[in-house]
Amino acid sequence: MAGKRPGAPPQRLQKILAAMGLGSRREIERWIAAGEVTVNGRVATVGTSAAPGDRVTVRGRPVNLAKAPSIQVLAYHKPEGEVVARSDPEGRPTVFERLPKPARGRWIAIGRLDLNTSGLLLLTTDGALANTLMHPSAQIEREYAVRVRGEIDEALIRRLVSGVTLEDGPARFEDVVYSGGEGLNHWFHVVLCEGRKREVRRLWESQGVVVSRLKRARFANVTISGLRPGTSRELTADEIASLRGYVSARAKISPDAAAAD
């Protein structure tokens, strides 16, 4: 394509724009399919590639691909009662109302936490990174502190670790560690490697146990340590590099494969 800088290989357009924080990869693909993205004056297709120097417009606005995006990752301590959405038809508070404005693009939530679940939520301006971290094949660990009410014995714990069948397929905890309690109320730390809707709660409920509190303590190698409810902090460049290293070590697919899926 005319205007490309030497040595800058072209990449899939949706991958570049997602990395710039303009939207999720799927959202950008919808814009491309709708004819709302052009490259050098021509309407792009989902298979179009681009490189720095190409003239790109997204929904009528020019985008400078020559500006290398500065990736940001934010750790946020979500309180109970907030919705992980940009707006809510019921008027409930959303996590995005509390977040600082990113230097460029917009925050993309890496997964979701239910209304009544608190704890660590990661967000990024890099759509490709978000997609990689959410891809089931990446096998990213999520650790939760959970308070349950009911009769708990070793056989029940073994079933949760060996696996049970939920309405959307098999599910299991990687680890279950008892962390205290009184009477019928017990605290556990549990780890699982996928993020299906209400999966932690449904696993316990499959054994006739009620979950009364649920808090995510860790996602990958990022913990909630030091974050008060409703506050956030930006990960350092070293922490982002460490997060990428964690993903590379665990992933069954490459980050590029996840981003291009």
Which of 33-37, 139-143, 248-252 is least confident? 248-252
Q: How many residues does the chain have?
A: 261
Q: Indicate if the pLDDT at residue 87 is higher than 70.
A: yes
pLDDT band at 69 (very low <50, low <70, confident <90, very high): low
Residue in the structure block whose two tokens are 């290398």: 68
Taking Cα atoms as reference points, which of 65, 13, 69, 15 lies closest to residue 42?
A: 13
Dihedral (CA of 144, 149, 153, 155) sign: negative
Q: Indicate if the pLDDT at residue 252 is higher than 70.
A: no
Q: Indicate if the pLDDT at residue 185 is higher than 80.
A: yes
Superfamily of 73-137+222-260 according to CATH:
Pseudouridine synthase (3.30.2350.10)
Active site residues: 114
Q: Indicate if the pLDDT at residue 15 is higher than 50.
A: yes
- Bridge partner residues of 64 (DSSP): 55
**Tell me, what's the pLDDT at 135?**
87
* Secondary structure letter of residue 111 according to DSSP: S
Structure tokens, 202: 């449904």
Dihedral (CA of 25, 87, 215, 165) sign: negative
Q: Indicate if the pLDDT at residue 97 is higher than 60.
A: yes
**Tell me, what's the pLDDT at 182?**
82
**Tell me, what's the pLDDT at 257?**
40
Looking at CATH, the fold of the domain delimited by 11-64 is given as: 3.10.290
Whether the model pTM is above 0.85: no
- Report the pLDDT averaged over residues 72-95: 96
* Distance in angstroms (rounded) separating the CA atoms of residues 28 and 122: 21
**Tell me, what's the pLDDT at 170?**
95
Among residues of the chain, what percentage have pLDDT more than 90? 68
Contact between 245 and 132 (Cβ < 8 Å)? no
Q: Indicate if the pLDDT at residue 219 is higher than 60.
A: yes
Could you report how far apart the first and last alpha carbons of the chain are, in Å?
24
What's the pLDDT tens digit per position in 123-151? 999 888 898 899 888 899 999 999 999 88
pLDDT band at 68 (very low <50, low <70, confident <90, very high): low
Highest CATH level, class, for 141-219:
alpha beta
> What residues does CATH 3.30.2350.10 cover in the chain?
73-137+222-260, 141-219
Mapping DSSP onto H, E and C, the string for 128-183 reads HHHHHHHCHHHCCCEEEEEEEECCCCHHHHHHHHHCEEECCEEECCCEEEEEEEEC
pLDDT band at 77 (very low <50, low <70, confident <90, very high): very high
pLDDT band at 251 (very low <50, low <70, confident <90, very high): low
